[in-house]
Amino acid sequence: MKLLHAAPEARQDDEGAPFDVIIDSPYGSQSIDIEDSSTYSHFVFFAGGMGVTPLRAIARLHNECYFQKARVIHRLRFVWSVSDSESLQALMKIEDDRWISNPRAPYLPDVLLCPRTLNVSTETFLTEIYVTRGLVGSEIELDQQLGKCLLFHCRPDIEQILREMGREAVKQGKMRVAVVVSGPEAMSTEVIATCVMLPREMNLHFDVHTERFAF
| pTM score, whole prediction | 0.80
SS3 content of the chain, % helix, strand, coil (to 5): 40, 20, 40
The predicted pLDDT at position 112 comes to: 84
pLDDT tens by residue, 176-188: 999 999 999 999 9
Residue 113 falls inside a structural domain: yes
Task: Supply the angle between the helices 158-171 and 185-197 in degrees, to the nearest 10.
Answer: 40
For 191, the 3-state DSSP assignment is helix
Buried b (16+ CB within 10 A) or exposed e, 129-157: bbbbebeeebeeebeebbeebbebeeebe
Beta strands across the sheet bearing 205-211: 150-152, 125-131, 75-82, 42-48, 176-182, 205-211
Domain total in the chain: 1
CA 139, chain centre distance (Å): 20
Residue 12 falls inside a structural domain: no
For 97, the 3-state DSSP assignment is coil
Residue 6 falls inside a structural domain: no
For 185, the 3-state DSSP assignment is helix
Which alpha helices (DSSP H) does 147-184 contain, by range?
158-171
Residue 29 falls inside a structural domain: no
- Residues of the chain below pLDDT 70: 1-17, 19, 21-29, 92-104, 134-145, 213-215
pLDDT averaged over every residue in the chain: 82
Residue 22 falls inside a structural domain: no
The predicted pLDDT at position 69 comes to: 82
Q: What is the CATH number of the domain that holds 191?
A: 3.40.50.80
Contact of 178 with 44, CB cutoff 8 Å: yes
Residue 188 falls inside a structural domain: yes
Contact of 179 with 191, CB cutoff 8 Å: yes
Residue 92 falls inside a structural domain: yes
Contact of 98 with 110, CB cutoff 8 Å: yes
The predicted pLDDT at position 133 comes to: 80
Residue 2 falls inside a structural domain: no
pLDDT tens by residue, 58-90: 999 998 898 888 889 999 999 999 988 777 777
Domain range spanning residue 53?
42-211
